[in-house]
Amino acid sequence: MSEDYQKWFKEKQQKLGAIDCYSAGVTPEGLAEQLGVDVSEIVKLNFNENLFVDRSKQVPLMKQLAEEIDLRMYPEDEEAKLREKLTGYLGVSADCIAISNAGDELIDRIVRLFIEKGDVAVSPTPTFAIPRLCVKRQEGEYVTVPLTAGFQLDVEGMLSQFNDKTRLLYICSPNNPTSNQMRPEDIEKLVKAFPGIVILDEAYGEFADYSFIPRLSEFSNMVILRTFSKAFGLAMLRLGYAVANPPLAKVIREKAPLPYPVSGFTIRMGVKILENMDIMRQAVSGLVAEREKFILALNQIEGVEAFPSQADFILINTKKPADETYTALLKRGIMLKKWGKLLQYDNCFRVTVGLPEMNQKLIRALKEIMSESS
């Protein structure tokens, strides 16, 4: 091995080591092993996956695809087929849509396309972490403005950050982790004033009260992010899309770095699921009904406050220290996303709306943990 290579690789390693990467922490398999139980006993409420989607209806679609698809071929015209199908669902034309490997890759693609070293991105905090990681990797700066105490956008605070260096604004609505939608008039004001690209992340849009998609033509600088991972229950597949006005959608579509970024199987599964919309619709209505019951039940636990939700998860704050509760839940095989301090609340968790029996296990565990002396 040449000395030159060793020196160069060491420097690279150091530089890459400084890059923040997403880490999900313990996995269900890892936790099951630690606890000496079967993985099916783990209650996984940490990733906002949608278990209300009926697997018995998904599986036959995959089997049909296995027969129909020819894996030997490149997926040349596949994206166009899905875009065409999406026009019926979204009410926008196909030239307003760009397909991606789910939401994360879309954020990454937009950041790579539009953010250069020294550019600044702005977002409220707390919010979804991926945009910050992508901007930092591009050597951009990431400026955050706290949400208001009611989890809404601090419009004046954000406007005061806009200048000729701010080229990306990220707004998540419904917001992860606070689960509320932002006021439309606030979003409108910010998008209209922003001198760069705005990602409006509607990953949880199907669970919410409104979408900005019908108003797309009013905002030339806005990209609405959507995913098949949540309402459609296809997180394993990695499929999402951007909705933007044609010139912006075209750049996102055509300037993806690689020729066929999304697998043909994935795209065709998206088409199939859109041809069977009842699967998603039933899942969303089942989940929303359970969500409302779950919030009421959580709020009845002494020491737990659950906030209203317009997504497939619920933000809670507990009277006990978050670390203590987190450890006690893990011991019982229950996984939540720990947030800890969030604005004026000290001990927050993000809780996926699981199937009723999973939620019941969490409720029982929280009752026990909250009543134990620390």
Ligand X SMILES: Cc1ncc(COP(=O)(O)O)c(C=O)c1O
Give, as ranges, the residues between 1 and 30 that touch ligand X (CB under 6 A): none
48 or 359: CB nearest ligand X:
48
How many chain residues are in contact with ligand X, going by CB under 6 A? 13
90 or 102: CB nearest ligand X:
102
44 or 320: CB nearest ligand X:
44
Q: Does 347 help bind ligand X (rule: CB under 6 A)? A: no
Choice from 58, 179, 227, 359 touching ligand X (CB under 6 A): 227
Peptide bond preceding 247: is omega within 30 degrees of 0, i.e. cis? no
From 97-105, 192-200, 342-350, 359-367, span contacting ligand X (CB under 6 A)? 97-105
Q: Least Å distance between CB 174 and ligand X?
A: 8
Q: Does 176 help bind ligand X (rule: CB under 6 A)? A: yes
From residue 27 to residue 56, the character string flagging contacts with ligand X as x (rule: CB under 6 A) and all else as - is: ---------------------x--------
Q: Least Å distance between CB 20 and ligand X?
A: 17
Q: Does 270 help bind ligand X (rule: CB under 6 A)? A: no
Q: Least Å distance between CB 302 and ligand X?
A: 30
From residue 126 to residue 145, the character string flagging contacts with ligand X as x (rule: CB under 6 A) and all else as - is: --x-----------------
Q: Does 203 help bind ligand X (rule: CB under 6 A)? A: yes
From residue 182 to residue 201, the character string flagging contacts with ligand X as x (rule: CB under 6 A) and all else as - is: -------------------x
Q: Does 111 help bind ligand X (rule: CB under 6 A)? A: no
Q: Least Å distance between CB 104 and ligand X?
A: 4
Q: Given the rule CB under 6 A, which residues bind ligand X?
A: 48, 102-104, 128, 172, 176, 201, 203, 227, 229, 235, 240
